[in-house]
Amino acid sequence: MTDSPLPAAAVETPLGWAGVAVSPAGIRRATLFHRTRDACLGELRAFGAAEARPAERPPLLDAALERLADYAAGDPAALGSFPVDLPPDLPAASRRVLLALRNIPPGEVRSYGWLAEAAGLGRGNARAAGAIIGANPVPLWLPCHRVVAADGSLHGFAGGLAMKRRLLELEGALPAPLLP
């Protein structure tokens, strides 16, 4: 028996096109901001999602799109505690690291060492935590952009450092102070 594709959709925002694919339990896959709708939906299709027509969208999908638009329009708290449904085959350590991202409030940043420690990997595993968030399936919702180097400098982000800076500016988190 084949699983049907996850329903997905995209929304145009002041930062570009962003999209999500949802399961009944929450957001399973999300994109960062793209220049075109096709690029956004193409990324979601690459992970087994299919665009849902507006009349066929589950309410959770429309709610997620509305929150994305609010976030990009300048409401850093809009994504809040929206339900996220990480892939079931995700290793336990990866799950802990990704979920620890939710402990970083909008307008604040934390170091990779802090993230590793918060996820139970130990502060010395900052690089491992960084590698895990580099494959974050639901960026923005699990805010990997809020993780910076211990000295406050910006490192690594799938959307590029310019986008990371833009998101942190939107949230009022720059300039970043020195972090433990």
3-state secondary structure of 177: coil
Whether 40 is catalytic:
no
Cβ pair 73, 28 in contact under 8 A: no
Q: Which helix (H) or strand (E) holds 72?
A: helix 59-72
Interstrand relation of 6-13 and 49-51 (parallel, antiparallel or unpaired): parallel
Distances (CA, A) of 111 to 43, 84, 105, 108: 28, 23, 13, 11
Query: Considering 144, 148, 149, 173, which one is annotated as catalytic?
Result: 144
Task: Quote the CA–CA distance of 162 and 164 in Å, as a whole number.
Answer: 5
State the catalytic residues. Answer: 144
